[in-house]
Every structure is written in C-alpha cells, then in structure tokens.
Amino acid sequence: NQECGTVADTNNTYFVNPNFPEPFSAAGNCRLTVKMINPNICQLRVHFHEFLLTGPSLAAASAGQCKADRLMISGTRGEPPPQICGVNHGQHMYLDVNRDRAPVLFDIMTYGGQIKRKWKIEISQIPCGEYVAPSGCLQYFTSLLGSVKSFNFDGSLHLAHQRYSICVRMEPGFCTIEWSPAMDENENLIEHAFTISDTQPRGEHLIAGTEFADPRRRIPGGKPVWATCTGGPGFADYVSIPCGSPDGDRVFTLLGPTGGDQVSCAHKFCGQALNHLNGANGSVPVISSVKPFQIEVHFDGSESEDGGDGGMPNRGFHLRWTQKPCQG
C-alpha cells in the first residue's frame, strides 16, 4: 500500500489514506506519484475500491462543484480526467498516459472537518495492445449487460464540470445497445435513476427532455423538433446517446392521437426521465445503433445560476445497458 508522499514504480499499486483502514479527518494535500514501469505502458486503470470524501457544494451558486475535498489527476495524455469528490465506491477510470514515461500525479485535497474520509484506489498499468480501452474512454465495459453510475450518484447530487465518455465493447453478433434507468434486485426502478436538469417545476410526473440529432429539421409530413437540453440555465447538463430511439432507427413513426408523425432520433437526454420524446412522462428504454457503443456525459459548472432544483438536487444517472442481437 502507498500512502501520502510516496512514489509508486511497480504495477498494481494501492493508494490508501493515512492509517488505512481507519478513516482520515485531517486537512492537507495527499499526493501519490506513479511512474511507468516500462516504455510500453499505454494506460492506467484506476479502480476505486473505496472512496469517500466530502461531497460537492450544495450552495446555489456552486452546486455540484468539489469546493472542499477533491481528487485531481494530472500528467495524463489528452483531456485531463474530471475532478471528483463524494461517494464513488466501485467506480473506475481508464487514463491514457504519455509514452515518454512521464509520471502521473494523484492529488487528494482535504479540508478537515468531521467527515471520516476513506480511500483505497487500485492503479494498474496496462501495456499497449489488445487490453487497452479505446482512447478517450474514461470508463470502459466489456460485457453484454451491466450498469454504470455518474460520479457521486450514491452521494448527494451529481458533480459539476464533468465531460467524459463511457464506452461499451460491441460483442460479435450484437448490433444495437439499449439504455434504461437501473432497477434494484427486486426489479423496482431505483429512485432518481435519471435526474439531470429540470424541464418543469417539480410535481408528480417525471418529465423527459431531449435534443434531437437535427434540432431544426422538419421531417417530411411531420412536425419540427426543437432543442431543450441546452436551452438555458438549468438545461446545460445532459447525457448524449447517439441517435437514441425506440428501436435504434434514425427516423421513427410516432404513434398517438394524431398518428403517423415522423420524428428524428434524439442525441441529448436530460430532465427527470430518460425518454426519446421531449416532454414525455416517465422513462422508457432508448436504443442506439451507432458504433462504437458509447455515451457522453456533459455536466457544466453548476446545477443552474439560481440553484433551480426545487430544493431537490439532481442526482445524476444510474443506467443499465443491454446489447441486442443483430436481426436477419
């Protein structure tokens, strides 16, 4: 195990808080320096076996920002990973590293207080080759089905300043991927499993927001569609599922009282429900046929300029995926 101020130059390092497994409550900067074991290392896989820091700010002007405790990672190649705080047990990251063997720095800033912080972070060095995640994928999964959470989903609210990709390896014989809010062991919908930006004053119904792949296009014989997920304060947070629709098609027929309206697939999802139709009540599965299989997370600097969360902060997402077999 490596504690504060140490240098790790072997594979499969465990970065732990001082006096682990006892909790830690002091203030300061705890740094681990990770040196690559050879020039053929392309990535680090970071697995958060335990991770509990002070959660993000709840103040209106800075909601979601890691203003107190935070983990910062520097020295990676490309876009730096987002800062995280709060509760992140079981999460992971893949980090692209420079081929010049430059070290990667893990800094955990703590600001005292009574919280009982704890962390145990496994850092594995991955040689260049078939086992690396696709470049730019902060999180990477290799199974037909599973689930993924936004950072701090098990804490208070989703974090601000989050821009990253979640990728799923497409398995042979499978052509589409279905995303839906996660269920518990009794197949009940997990509370607030998709709560990203408000689209209405809170009430009994959970309303979906979307932005269509072609937001100002009028489908022939149909109606115009308009963006809402980036429409102003409180709407700048979204999850992008490329061309999401009920069946993975780019244009589908909307059945309803009017019947026969054709609408485009959606590619940005927000609001209090996951749904391919803007303003719809409740969540439904969303299917994408775009390859590679991935979703993108885009959370801006705070919940909104005035906190606009009705006293109930947006939790983020806990989504499950299922790869669907090719047809024909």
Q: Which residues contact 273 (CB under 8 A, 6 or more apart)?
A: 181, 194, 206, 207, 208, 280, 281, 282, 283
When pLDDT is averaged across residues 245-261 and rounded to a whole number, the result is 59
Quick one: pLDDT band at residue 259, thresholds 50, 70, 90? low
pLDDT tens per residue across span 99-134: 888 999 999 999 978 889 999 999 999 999 878 999
Q: Please determine, for residue 308, whether its predicted confidence score (pLDDT) is greater than 90.
A: no
3-state class (DSSP) for residue 111? strand
Select from 132, 165, 194 the last residue of a domain: 132
Contact call for residues 43 and 133 (beta carbons, < 8 A): yes
Question: Does 23 lie in the same domain as 116?
Answer: yes
Answer whether residue 258 is part of any domain.
yes
Answer whether residue 139 is part of any domain.
no
Amino acid at 146: G
Give the residue with greater pLDDT, 144 vs 129: 144
Question: Does 103 lie in the same domain as 150?
Answer: no
Which tokens in the block code for residue 98? 């420079």
Question: Does 157 lie in the same domain as 298?
Answer: yes
When pLDDT is averaged across residues 144-150 and rounded to a whole number, the result is 96
Question: Does 151 lie in the same domain as 127?
Answer: no
3-state class (DSSP) for residue 42? strand
Question: Does 319 lie in the same domain as 176?
Answer: yes
Per-residue pLDDT at 156: 79
Answer whether residue 1 is part of any domain.
no
Question: Does 121 lie in the same domain as 32?
Answer: yes
When pLDDT is averaged across residues 267-274 and rounded to a whole number, the result is 84
Answer whether residue 94 is part of any domain.
yes
Matching residue, tokens 């983020």: 316
Give the residue with greater pLDDT, 140 vs 273: 140
Q: How many domains does the chain have?
A: 2
Q: Please determine, for residue 40, whether its predicted confidence score (pLDDT) is greater than 80.
A: yes
Per-residue pLDDT at 189: 80
Domain span including residue 308: 145-325
Question: Does 103 lie in the same domain as 151?
Answer: no
Report the C-alpha gap between 95 and 124 in whole angstroms.
10
Q: Please determine, for residue 154, whether its predicted confidence score (pLDDT) is greater than 90.
A: yes
Per-residue pLDDT at 100: 85
Answer whether residue 168 is part of any domain.
yes
Question: Does 125 lie in the same domain as 152?
Answer: no
Share of the chain above pLDDT 90, in %: 55
Answer whether residue 117 is part of any domain.
yes
Answer whether residue 137 is part of any domain.
no
User: Residue 171 CB: number of other CB atoms within 10 A?
Assistant: 12
Question: Does 183 lie in the same domain as 270?
Answer: yes
Report the C-alpha gap between 34 and 75 in whole angstroms.
10
Answer whether residue 112 is part of any domain.
yes
Which tokens in the block code for residue 106? 């893990």
Report the C-alpha gap between 323 and 297 in whole angstroms.
20
pLDDT tens per residue across span 275-303: 777 666 778 899 999 999 999 999 988 66
Question: Does 294 lie in the same domain as 167?
Answer: yes
What b/e string do you get for 192-230 counting C-beta neighbours within 10 Å, with b at 16 or more?
A: bbbbbbbbeeeeeebbbbbbbbebeeebeebeebebbbb
Contact call for residues 149 and 48 (beta carbons, < 8 A): no
Contact call for residues 174 and 290 (beta carbons, < 8 A): no
3-state class (DSSP) for residue 203? coil
Question: Does 186 lie in the same domain as 48?
Answer: no
Question: Does 208 lie in the same domain as 166?
Answer: yes
Residues linked to residue 70 through DSSP beta bridges, in sequence order: 109
pLDDT tens per residue across span 209-247: 665 544 333 334 444 333 456 555 445 788 999 988 887
CATH for 79: 2.60.120.290
